[in-house]
Amino acid sequence: MDLVKMYPQGVETVPGHGLAATASSTDTMKKSGAIYVNRDGRRYVNERASLGELTDTTVAQPGHIAYIVMDAKAWKEYVAKSLEDKLVPDEAALMKWTKIVNNGRPVMAVADTLSEAAGVMGVDAKGLEATVRDWNRMVKQGKDTAFGRQITGGIGEGPYYIVEQKVRYQTTLGGLRAGEGLRILDKSGKPIPGLFGAGCVVGGANGADSMTAMMNSWAIVSGVIAAETAVGK
């Protein structure tokens, strides 16, 4: 296995399994002033950076975990995208996350104040309050001097929502070596009779930071090529 594709913004609703909430978080960042913070309550990245950068910087944080902090407006965006993508059937299903506990903390907190929500999640409350004040100051000035994020709003009125953001496994990006016609090769580089590969079984086609749509396209195209080779077309 050459590479493993990881995504940030997973929500561990089942122990060891991160729910694929990447689109919900990403869309919310585009349409609101939500921010990512670490356990110290500090921003650590441009929230609209590439998924690859978000993954790498999240892994580098204490406990390899981050949190999305949202006000009431941002939460509406998060809910809307989650429903659009059928991540959950309704908002009530999202609210159940407050009852799911992993590693001694729930995967989500809702509270009238930032400090209360931070306390539930194990995030430094004073650090978070200071970060929000600093972020809102930069929003008023119209420039993110810390990480260069495009300004799309600040943190406004509550209630406030904090959701864990864990790096989650997506797929492999490596594996079997293939030659012409996607014939699988042995250790000496010779085709193994009758053995063909397609999709994520065959490594290297999409690189280390491929998007889901790219992987889907590669699966379809490589499957057709392998099938045509197998039947002698």
98-115 pLDDT per residue, tens: 999 987 899 999 999 999
Query: Is the per-residue pLDDT at 15 higher than 90?
Result: no
**CATH classification of the domain holding 75:** 3.90.700.10
* 116/198 same-domain check: no
> 231 near 31, Cβ under 8 Å?
no
* 137/183 same-domain check: no
Q: How many CB atoms lie within 10 A of CB 213?
A: 8
Range of the domain at 186: 173-230
Domain boundary among 145, 169, 193: 169
Q: Is 198 helix (H, G, I), strand (E, B) or coil?
A: coil
Q: Is 214 helix (H, G, I), strand (E, B) or coil?
A: helix
* 96/110 same-domain check: yes
* 177/163 same-domain check: no
* 25/113 same-domain check: yes
* 30/127 same-domain check: yes
Q: What is the pTM of this model?
A: 0.80
41-93 pLDDT per residue, tens: 999 999 999 888 998 899 899 999 999 999 999 999 999 999 999 989 999 99
* 107/220 same-domain check: no
> 152 near 135, Cβ under 8 Å?
no
* 14/41 same-domain check: yes
* 30/144 same-domain check: yes
Question: Number of structural domains, the chain?
Answer: 2
* 88/200 same-domain check: no
